[in-house]
Structure 1
């Protein structure tokens, strides 16, 4: 049976916004408007997915209760936060590979939010702040810039994948 889109209850909307503010920083809750819809787990009745205007914004991660972004969710956060907040900027020439869902290697990182830590959700952008992908960081900002080998960001969704 497919999951049904439903309007969140007031306490669920508040929870989504509080988690977004905690995870991404103040003002992140602006990405999750009152018009969002959610799906619930049929067994636990917990929130699974968050949609806005038919597009998946984020998925609740059951292990830690945080959000895993999708491309529309990344675009919403990109419009709220100014660079370099939440961003990993890559060098020119690797954009196509990353757009298709390829991981970001340390040698391709050009600039990064200095406050990023390992295992955080990040926005992968090019030099013009165009969103290429969303994913999870493996290193902190200093390590991403100094290492020349290894995966810096495990890409979850590329804009073409």
Structure 2
């Protein structure tokens, strides 16, 4: 296995846990390298994630979000969206605090997260703006900056 795949596996294990990292990298893994560092990660030909140059962590692509969702049990890495805002989040709109019902308590601002419906249907992938436990207490502002609706 390439050393870049092992680097990416370590980053994913740090962000999402070892079991989730192994499940996310299940398949034929290719890492696109720029200037000696991993940048884009593909599994079975689909982009899984991008390694950010700013902090060395990953931003999930839709395929990465689907694999993380399948590899983890609720409430891990999830923020639950109210039913009346589900379609807006699917279209890529940010999740506001008034529509965020609850979040995983271990999420921190800046963490990658999955936005799900009350039935645990994957709606979007984004970045936390608040802590997971703060989501249900605030009434105004953005809870999750949605990168891509699914």
What TM-score range do you get, normalising by the shorter chain?
over 0.9
Q: In the alignment, does 2:66 pair up with 1:69? A: no
Give the Cα–Cα distance (whole angstroms) in 2 for the partners of residues 130 and 93 of structure 1.
14
Paired residue for 2:15? 23
Residue 97 of structure 1 aligns to a residue whose secondary structure is helix
Name the counterpart of 2:25.
32
Give the C-alpha shift of residue 95 in structure 1.
Answer: 1.0
TM-score normalised per structure 1: 0.88
Structure 1 unaligned residues grouped into runs of 5+:
1-8
**In the alignment, is the contact (CA less than 8 A) between 2:95 and 2:146 conserved in 1?**
yes
> RMSD value over aligned CA atoms?
1.2
SS across alignment from 1:93:
helix
In 1, the alpha carbon distance for the partners of 2:91 and 2:28 equals 30
Instruction: Please list the CA deviations of residues 118-141 of structure 1 after superposition, one character each: whole Å capped at 9, or x if unmatched.
Output: 100000000111111101000002
Instruction: Name the structure 1 match of 2:99.
Output: 108
Q: Residue 112 of structure 2 aligns with which residue?
A: 121
Please identify runs of 4+ aligned residues in structure 1 that moved more than 4 A: none
CA drift of 1:34 comes to 5.1
Contact 2:5–2:30 (CA under 8 A) maintained in structure 1:
no
Q: Write the distance in 1 (CA, Å) between the matches of 2:86 and 2:145.
A: 15
Paired with 2:71 and 2:32, the residues of 1 have a C-alpha distance of: 25
Q: Determine the structure 1 residue equivalent to 2:46.
A: 55
Q: 2-side partners of 1:151 and 1:157: how far apart?
A: 15
SS in 2 for 1:146: coil
Structure 2 gaps, min length 5:
none
Q: In the TM superposition, what whole-angstrom CA distance separates every residue of 1:32-91 from its partner, at most 9, and x where no partner exists? A: 1351112222xx132111111221110000011000001110110111110000000101
TM-score (norm 2): 0.94
CA distance in 2, matches of 1:54, 1:35: 8
